Structure 1
Amino acid sequence: MKNLKDKVAVVFAASGDIAGAVARSFSQHGAKVYVTARNPEAIKALTQEIKANGGNVEAAKVDALNETEIDTFLKKVVADNGKLDVVFNGIGASYSEMGGRPPTTMATFGQFMAPIEKICGSQFLTSRIAAKHMIQTQSGGTILLLTAALSRSKLSNVAGITAASAAIEGLTRVMAAEWGGDGIKVICICPGALMETKRISGWIEAAAQQYGMPVEQLVAQYKAFDILKTSPTLKQVGETAAFLASETGQAFNSHVVDVDCGKLNIL
């Protein structure tokens, strides 16, 4: 079913596994998709794959933390298509990028603020710039943000990323309230731990080596709270994003949508 036929969609930070899955689903559901990354080579394979499957896709170099680059790019998208229907920002950060996982008493102010600036800051920039263009064209649209279940978990040594995740969810509700009158939906997607992603699999392997534990034991700890005893897939995350951006997803707005098959330890 082509839920997004004739829609124009932009995926920022498309070099990531989640953003790539979302871009594929958008294309499969009929959208014209623009995929962006700081390094165009990082999305070359994704672009070729979408084209090979008959999708309409264009790639561009855009830093999702650079306001000027974001605005210039979205202006071009609107100029070429007369509208902007869907925006998804898949930016993420590994623990190593954020200075590891120091205890909160030992973390520097810079280490605490780094994920807030990168993760929440990027979502703020892409969302508000996209909204301005959607308002100007009076075409409405859907803005999809990405968060992590850390926002509602109780884990030690992740103060910055946890605060950033919670901030993105709060930002979603504020923006939905502000832009709803212009026909703009704002929704936050919260996937569970996706074993397919390089970030999760890499962290599990590194932690297993660090603590001298079998990989299987760490995976079992991740899955211990699964209600259905199964885990979400990248394809399911992409399909959820496509549904939320479609007309049938109209009932969802301002929500944080968990894509985790149900977790006992997440509120």
Structure 2
Amino acid sequence: MPGSFVYRQTNKMQPLKDKVAVVFAASGDIAGAVARSFSDQGAKVYVTARNLDAVKALARELKAEAARVDAMKETEIDHFLQKVVADNGKLDVVFNGIGVSYNDMGGRPPTTQATFEQFMSPMEKLCGSQFLTSRVAARYMMETGSEGTILLLTAALSRSKIPNLAGITAASAAIEGMTRVMAAEFGGNGIKVICICSGALMETKRISGWIESVANQYGIPVEQIVSQYKAFDILKTVPTLKQLGDTAAFLASETGVAFNSHIVDVDCGKLNIL
């Protein structure tokens, strides 16, 4: 019937229609792009950050609900997701876009000089936060039978050999390992767990800040650092924030089930990444 055809077409155009999605650390460029794609694909979106003012504009743009949540505090995560479930009866998608700044790691000290606190800082903030948001979300998905999707975020450093980055490299690899374990644990409840592994997105404030900090610390021109990174590109193009956001929306859709437990690279291909 014509009506049913229109309905199928609409759902195809918006594969996340009627889904309830929560984006943590949404004040960042990557999480903001993911929230936009979720909304574009039909999801009801909630955006959170430690700084509520930082996500209010995004919430207005998407007609989403904004909340102050520290993604490193389990109690705050739990209280917020409890409210989301109470309001909607389910939780379909969770994405955590937390990142670390150059200063968070104390710069790029050699392993022989880095303090234990400097080494552990990315592990606690990145891997620790992903652990907390994922496991709390899984509990609510199990309670409500949501059979949802948990999307984690890591960096291509997990499979790189760049000196003076032991802490964040270890944290990135740990997130990927944790993804596979949680997928195995939660799969029996119909929950899929996927990790997006992003290359350096030059258009983000975090990456541009990193490059400037490295340039200042080592006295290297910014252009030289960018050129060295791009020398390993397979294609003459690099991924955009929108492409990463759209990839996240695809992975959260029914079709994305094919990628359960996988680490999905978003870098257009790099010669120096396994």
The yes-or-no answer on 1:11 pairing with 2:23 is yes
What is residue 208 of structure 1 aligned with on the other side? 215
Q: What does 1:80-119 correspond to in 2, within 5 Å? A: 80-119=87-126
Which 5+ residue runs of structure 1 have no aligned equivalent?
Answer: 52-56
Name which of 40, 45, 54 aligns with 1:33. Answer: 45
For residues 204 and 120 of structure 1, the distance between their equivalents in structure 2, rounded to whole angstroms, comes to 23
Question: Deviation at 1:210?
Answer: 3.9
Q: CA deviation at 1:213?
A: 3.5
Q: Would you say the 8 A contact 2:102–2:213 is kept in 1? A: no
TM-score under structure 1 length normalisation: 0.96
After TM superposition, give the deviation of residue 208 of structure 1 in Å: 3.0
Instruction: Please state if 1:69 is matched with 2:83.
Output: no
Q: Could you list the per-position Cα deviations for residues 41-87 of structure 1 after superposition, in whole angstroms to 9, with x for gaps in the alignment?
A: 11122112223xxxxx1000000001100001000000000000000
Aligned pair 1:229/2:241, yes or no? no
Structure 2 match to 1:21? 33
Which residue in 2 is equivalent to 1:258? Answer: 265
| Aligned-partner residue type, residue 40 of structure 1 | L
Of residues 65-74 and 217-226 in structure 1, the stretch that sits farther from structure 2 once superposed is 217-226
Paired letter, 1:33: V
Following superposition, the deviation at residue 207 of structure 1 comes to 2.8
Residue 183 in structure 1 maps to residue 195 in structure 2: no
**Which TM-score applies when normalising by structure 2?**
0.94
TM superposition shift of 1:205: 2.5
Q: Which amino acid aligns with 1:100?
A: G
Letter in 1 for 2:186: W
- 2:4 maps to none
Quick one: distance in 1 between partners of 2:218 and 2:137?
44
Cα-to-partner distance string for 1:15-36 (whole Å, 9 max, x where unaligned): 0000000000000000000000
The root-mean-square deviation of aligned C-alpha atoms, in Å, is 1.0
Percent of matched pairs sharing the same residue: 81
- Indicate the SS of the match to 1:127: helix
1:48-63 paired onto structure 2 within 5 Å: 48-51=60-63, 57-63=64-70
The separation in 2 between residues aligned to 1:210 and 1:65, in whole angstroms, is 29
More off after superposition, 96-105 vs 204-213: 204-213
Residue 54 (structure 1) aligns with: none
For the residues of structure 1 that align with 2:222 and 2:73, how far apart are their CA atoms? 38
Unaligned runs of 5+ in 2: 1-12
* Large movers: runs of 4+ above 6 Å: none
Q: Which sits farther off after the overlay, 41-50 or 68-77?
A: 41-50
Aligned to 2:135: 128
Q: Deviations over 1:140-179 (max 9, x none)?
A: 1000000001110001111110100000000000000001
How big is each residue's C-alpha offset from its partner over 1:192-250, in whole Å with a ceiling of 9 and x where there is no partner?
11011001112222333444443222211111100012111000000000000001112
Determine the C-alpha separation between the residues in 2 that align with 1:167 and 1:93: 15
Q: Kindly tell me the number of residue pairs found equivalent between the two proteins.
A: 262
Contact 2:150 2:191 in 1 (8 A): yes
1:157 aligns with 2:164: yes
Residue 2 (structure 1) aligned to one of 11, 14, 33? 14
